[in-house]
Every structure is written in C-alpha cells, then in structure tokens.
C-alpha cells in the first residue's frame, strides 16, 4: 500500500491499494450489501479468515477499507475502523474494551452524548465510571483502581477548550496496563497525533473536520491492529454501527483538502479570537491558540495550532446573548463544527438547555457562553457579522437601562 512521509500527500493518495479495475482516479463506491463467492470452498475460507476477500458489508467493504487505510496512515496507527457516527465509534470502543465489573476513568467534561453514554448506559451494564479533570495529573492518578481498564478523554474539551497532556495520560496508563482512548475530533491529525504520544486508540467524529462539508454523520477509530480487529469482530459486527460505502466515499473526498481547510480554520479562529478579546461586550475568550489560555503551553508540544473551535462569554444577560445569536446574518446557528460555513451555538439555549442555571454553573457553562466554529469564509466577513450582532446586543442593553 502506497504512502508518503508527508501528511499533505497522504490525505490524497495514502492507503490506496493499486489502480483498481478500469483505473478510476476517484475511489469507486462499492454500493453493495454482500459479495459473491465463486464456490462453497471460497466462502468457507473467507468465513474461516484463511483467505482475504469480502463477505458482507457490515463486516467490511472495499470503499470503507480505503478510508480506514488512509485514516490509519494519517493518525500513525496500524489499523482503523469506520462507523456510521462518532457515537457509534464511542459506544463500540467502550463496550468492546469494558465488561461488567470494569472501571473507566474519564473527563468531568465531555461531548454531551458521550457523557450521557458514560453516565447512564455504562453503569446500567455494571461498568463503573469516574469523572475527573484529565488536565490534573494528581486527580487522574488518584482515580486509578485495580479494575481500571480504560482512560477515555478529549482534548481540547468543550466548552472551555481545556487541554489534557497526552504524554502524562499515556504514561500513567502504561504503568498500570490501562488502554487509552482519545477523541481527536477538535484537532484532526493535521494538528495533533495522539498515537505519537503513546495513546492506544484515537477516535474521531468524522462528521466534523475529516469530512468538512456538513453532509455526513460518521466516526472512526484508529489504533493497534489487534484492538481494532477485536472491535471490528465484536461490537462493530454485532451491534452494527457500520458506515455506508457512499458516506465513506464522501469522507475520502473531504480528506483530500483536510490540511488546507484545517490551516484556514485555525487562521480564521485565531483572528476572530483576537478580535473578540478586545470587544467591550466580551468578558472572556477561550481558545488554546491565545497566549493567555491554559492550553497554550502545549502548543508545539502536542498540538500544532489552537484548532478551529473557540468559545466566548458575553458581558451581558441571557436575553442579550439570544439577541446576539438571532442578529447574525451570515454565521449559521447550528450545532456542529469543522464545516465550510461558520457555525455558532448558544449552549444554554441549545446543547445544554435541559440544565438548570445551577447545573450550568456547576458544569462551568455561563448563561452567555457562545461556541463558535469559524468556517472558511473571508475572515473579515465573519468578524463583520459578529460585530453587527454584538452591536444589536449592546443596543438592547442601552434600551433596557
């Protein structure tokens, strides 16, 4: 299988297995549910795992294989497994690695549905879960028990973009024979390669930067061949969160521009963060690319740049935050990230709207926190839209006074 030393080349050519029949430039979409055996013996040897070749698309598909080979190369792991959603990947990895009586150490802040899975579903299966601050080495060490099997984290983490030290987590885990899983969705392999720091399994919601065009929901796990094979042959095969060949193809297409897109997302995010910092209606900006952010010290060490997501808190009321959101003309009110369009959401009225004001403050989510994922538009247009919407929110305050 072909590969280069350079990520920019591998996003386009990496993991390709020859020209394929007819020599198509674009990867063929093998839109098929099943594969035909020449004879019983061939079918039998494929089922026995003695011969290569496909059986059924829930077990594997050539279009999906190419996506997996490319992602393994990009993350620097032996293998990868693609899923029908990021949450399909999260559930397959934790249910594949943990059983009743095992213990999971994870972050006190997580992607919302990952938190729901860990906080509600896993305990229902008799799996014990501890939620700690993964940026705090002493807290991580104190949480380890004899039955701890997995440490699962995200970095940077919603909503304040706090950053966990990957070398530290991998070091603690290795000393105790614990498997580590890191959700690398916010960074992509362009900015951060957790496996290089000793992390075992790297997870992505491919819905975000990897695809990058807002038209697919998908997930990926990258890791050592034995663990990935184990997950493919247990939780992915038997629980069935498989990706469709067409969706795999859309991500293969998206990956071709990943490095260019992520670079521009970072440039735009830094410019917007800088602008917001100096605005009188903005109380605080959370972006690891800004020198004041606690995660900034890991820039250059484990992450190349601050990424394409930032959060900011308004010096305003909840109603003014709503006015700001509604006044936006170009930026899209939507809960995703890593797309060409600038996406913006207000956690207190959207992703975290079921939280009471007390629960919000406990989770460190101010009423006026806004999460912004700058897109690929000209940065002046993004800033101009935010500026006019902040103006509308400020005017509301003057009127109320």
Ligand X SMILES: *Cc1c(COP(=O)(O)O)cnc(C)c1O
Q: Which residues are catalytic?
A: 58, 111, 183, 208
Q: Binding of ligand X at residue 111 (CB under 6 A)?
A: yes
Query: Which of the stretches 163-171, 200-208, 221-229, 300-308 binds ligand X when contact is defined by CB under 6 A?
Result: 200-208
- By beta-carbon proximity to ligand X, the closer residue of 87 and 144 is 87
Q: Are 71 and 220 in contact (CB under 8 A)?
A: yes
Residue 57 Cβ vs ligand X, minimum distance, rounded to whole Å: 20
Query: Which of the stretches 161-169, 180-188, 192-200, 373-381 binds ligand X when contact is defined by CB under 6 A?
Result: 180-188
Query: Which of the stretches 12-20, 84-92, 253-261, 382-390 binds ligand X when contact is defined by CB under 6 A?
Result: 84-92
Residue 336 Cβ vs ligand X, minimum distance, rounded to whole Å: 7
Among 68, 75, 102, 183, binds ligand X (CB under 6 A): 183
Among 29, 168, 217, 397, binds ligand X (CB under 6 A): 217
Q: Binding of ligand X at residue 85 (CB under 6 A)?
A: yes
Q: Binding of ligand X at residue 219 (CB under 6 A)?
A: yes
Q: Total residues at the site for ligand X (CB under 6 A)?
A: 14
Among 64, 67, 79, 87, binds ligand X (CB under 6 A): 87
- By beta-carbon proximity to ligand X, the closer residue of 131 and 318 is 131
Residue 181 Cβ vs ligand X, minimum distance, rounded to whole Å: 11
Residue 110 Cβ vs ligand X, minimum distance, rounded to whole Å: 8
Q: Binding of ligand X at residue 320 (CB under 6 A)?
A: no
Q: Which residues bind ligand X (CB under 6 A)?
A: 85-87, 111, 114, 154, 183, 185-186, 205, 207-208, 217, 219
């Amino acid at each position: 299988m072909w590969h280069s030393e350079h990520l920019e080349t591998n996003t386009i050519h990496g993991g390709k297995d020859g020209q394929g029949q007819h020599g198509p430039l674009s990867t063929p979409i093998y839109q098929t549910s099943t594969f035909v055996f020449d004879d019983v013996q061939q079918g039998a040897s494929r089922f026995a795992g003695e011969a290569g070749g496909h059986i059924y698309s829930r077990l594997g598909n050539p279009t999906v294989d190419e996506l997996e080979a490319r992602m393994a190369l990009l993350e620097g792991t032996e293998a990868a497994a693609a899923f029908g959603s990021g949450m399909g990947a999260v559930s397959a990895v934790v249910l594949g690695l943990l059983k009743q009586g095992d213990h999971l150490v994870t972050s006190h802040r997580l992607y919302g549905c990952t938190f729901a899975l860990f906080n509600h579903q896993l305990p229902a299966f008799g799996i014990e879960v501890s939620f700690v601050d993964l940026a705090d080495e002493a807290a991580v060490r104190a949480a380890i028990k004899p039955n701890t099997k997995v440490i699962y984290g995200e970095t940077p983490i919603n909503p304040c973009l706090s950053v966990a030290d990957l070398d530290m987590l991998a070091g603690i885990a290795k000393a105790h024979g614990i498997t580590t899983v890191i959700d690398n969705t916010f960074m992509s392999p362009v900015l951060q390669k957790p496996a290089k720091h000793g992390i075992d399994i790297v997870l992505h919601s491919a819905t975000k930067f990897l695809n990058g065009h807002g038209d697919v929901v998908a997930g990926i796990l990258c890791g050592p061949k034995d663990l990935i094979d184990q997950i493919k042959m247990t939780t992915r095969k038997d629980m069935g969160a498989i990706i469709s060949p067409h969706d795999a193809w859309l991500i293969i297409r998206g990956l071709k521009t990943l490095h260019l897109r992520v670079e521009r997302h970072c440039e735009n995010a830094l410019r917007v963060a800088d602008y917001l910092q100096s605005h009188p209606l903005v109380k605080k900006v959370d972006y690891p690319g800004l020198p004041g952010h606690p995660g900034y010290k890991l820039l250059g060490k484990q992450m190349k740049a601050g990424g394409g997501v930032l959060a900011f808190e308004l010096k305003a009321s909840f109603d003014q935050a709503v006015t700001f959101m509604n006044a936006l003309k170009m930026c899209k009110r939507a809960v995703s990230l890593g797309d060409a369009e600038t996406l913006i959401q207000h956690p207190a009225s959207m992703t975290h709207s079921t939280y009471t004001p007390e629960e919000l403050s406990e989770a460190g989510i101010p009423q006026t926190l806004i999460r912004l994922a700058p897109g690929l538009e000209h940065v002046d247009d993004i800033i101009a839209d935010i500026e006019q919407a902040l103006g509308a929110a400020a005017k509301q305050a003057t009127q109320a006074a």
